[in-house]
Amino acid sequence: MKEADRQRVYDTDDEGLRHYTHDHLKVFAKFTSENCATCELLAPPFAKFADDAQYQPILFLRLNSDENPVAKKLMQERVAPFFVSYCQGQLLECDSLTTEEAVRGMLDRLRAFAPHTR
């Protein structure tokens, strides 16, 4: 796979998240936190999923909850890493996930979700 053909994970903030979820059909966001061992453990699989052709229609985002007020508030109620899937700007699913299999499951549900047509 050429570098130009690879999808990537985009680092963003709360404002960027709002724009991306409205500008892209499907978005998958990972909220991380400093000194989070599970966040580090899931970083390579998350990047691998972003490069996987079956997930190409999905935009992958990463937010550091320590640097984003909305994410930080959300993380006070949840444990990092926290994953959120969006379709057509609407939140579909959100959960604290700790295994590669759980992340893949949420991604597969997002990939299979049939958006409303207008």
Lowest-confidence region among 8-12, 50-54, 72-76, 83-87? 72-76
Angle, in degrees to the nearest 10, between helices 14-23 and 69-77: 90
Residue 2 confidence (pLDDT) above 50: no
Domain harbouring 85, CATH code: 3.40.30.10
Higher pLDDT, 100 or 116: 100
Tokens of 6: 């690879």
Domain assignment of residue 3, yes or no: no
Counting the structural domains of the chain, the total is 1
Domain assignment of residue 1, yes or no: no
Domain assignment of residue 118, yes or no: no
Domain assignment of residue 87, yes or no: yes
Q: Are 28 and 59 in contact (CB under 8 A)?
A: yes
Domain that holds residue 94: 9-112
Domain assignment of residue 51, yes or no: yes
In the predicted model, what is the mean pLDDT of the chain? 87
pLDDT of residue 77: 66
Domain assignment of residue 75, yes or no: yes
Domain assignment of residue 85, yes or no: yes
pLDDT of residue 18: 93
For 70-101, how does the pLDDT look when each residue is reduced to its tens digit (9 = 90+)? Answer: 766 766 666 678 899 999 999 999 999 999 99
Spatial distance between the Cα atoms of 45 and 70, rounded to a whole number of angstroms: 25
